[in-house]
């Protein structure tokens, strides 16, 4: 790994690294916040943050204000990039909502994309192994959360891997992706026309067959969100409750889709996860 940056923040360190990925066959970048250590042997629980369309590993660490809460809770926060980059695939930079910056956290099956666009396996397998190997984390205590496309990614990562993550939360997730214009575009491009393959990555469909621990899921949604109609968090909440999961689905007047919204409630999301990560 190559360290790109290292800044002291609230007694801990906000770092960014780059590494060659076996899953995406290119260099991947991730951020990691490490809280103040009481001793060199101290290990922390770890929270994985997945960002939304057009984002890199930078958006969350520069706009959310999460470091203060992570330092107080003594939790490591890891934030990967949102897609492979520079793979020289024709069309990868043609639009903001597909290709570069829009990996959608799936493993592509279409020939053009399948060698590189394997973000699902990258975030659920390769990256956690890398973090456990190189940083002071307790691999038995990990959770996941995210925003928009990343909220979709967090929900499916949790639901499709019972026992890997202790908890999950999301801000304005694309929660019923096979019915969303954003999900349809990405699923069609990465997975082809088989809608059964789409449903395998649609949180509202996946939750119907969830067999893991019955933890509470926290979802926050701004009611002034320009993408409100395409996110459908309420549909996911209804399906999850039907599967026996508790869902705290909160709609907030006046809040939009951006990081002012996220920074307002990020502390409550850290508190939510720490209920599950502390013991």
| 230 is annotated as an active-site residue | no
Q: Which of 147, 257, 269, 273 is catalytic?
A: 257
Q: Which of 81, 202, 225, 230 is catalytic?
A: 225
Q: Which of 143, 148, 169, 180 is catalytic?
A: 148
| Integer Cα distance of 12 and 74 in angstroms | 9
| 257 is annotated as an active-site residue | yes
| 111 is annotated as an active-site residue | no
What's the 3-state SS for the chain? CEEEEEEEECCEEEEEEEEECCCCCCEEEEEEEECCCCCCCCCEEEEEEECCCCCCCHHHHHHCCHHHHHHHHCCEEEEECCCCCCCCCCCCCCECCEECCECCCCECCCCCCCCCCEHHHHHHHHHHHHHHHHCCEEEEEEEEEEECHHHHHHHHHHHHCCCCCCCEEEECCCCCHHHCHHHHHHHHHHHCCCHHHHHCCCHHHHHHHCCCCCCEEEEEEECCCCCHHHHCHHHHHHHHHHCCCEEEEEEECCCCCCHHHHHHHHHHHHHHHHHHHCC
Residues marked as catalytic: 148, 225, 257
């Amino acid at each position: 790994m190559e360290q790109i940056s290292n800044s002291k923040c609230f007694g801990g360190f906000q770092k960014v690294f780059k590494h060659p990925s076996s899953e995406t066959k290119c260099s991947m970048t991730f951020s990691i916040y490490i809280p103040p250590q009481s001793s060199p042997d101290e290990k922390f629980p770890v929270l994985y943050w997945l960002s939304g369309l057009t984002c890199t590993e930078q958006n969350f660490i520069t706009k959310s204000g999460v470091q203060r809460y992570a330092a107080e809770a003594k939790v490591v926060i890891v934030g990967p990039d949102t897609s492979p980059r520079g793979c020289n695939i024709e069309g990868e930079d043609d639009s903001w909502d597909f290709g570069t910056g829009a990996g959608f956290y799936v493993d592509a099956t279409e020939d053009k994309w399948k060698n590189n666009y394997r973000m699902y396996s990258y975030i659920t397998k390769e990256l956690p192994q890398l973090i456990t190997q190189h940083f002071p984390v307790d691999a038995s205590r990990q959770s996941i959360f995210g925003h928009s496309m990343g909220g979709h990614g967090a929900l499916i990562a949790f639901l499709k891997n019972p026992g890997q993550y202790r908890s999950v939360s999301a801000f304005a997730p694309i929660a019923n992706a096979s019915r969303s214009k954003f999900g349809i575009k990405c699923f069609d491009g990465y997975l082809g026309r088989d809608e059964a393959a789409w449903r395998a990555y649609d949180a509202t469909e996946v939750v119907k067959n969830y067999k893991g621990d019955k933890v509470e899921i926290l979802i926050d949604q701004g009611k002034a969100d320009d993408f409100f109609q395409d996110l459908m968090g309420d549909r996911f909440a209804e399906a999850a409750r039907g599967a026996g999961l508790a869902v705290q689905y909160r709609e907030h007047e006046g809040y939009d889709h951006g990081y002012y919204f996220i920074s307002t409630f990020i502390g409550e999301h850290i508190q939510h996860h720490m209920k599950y990560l502390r013991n």
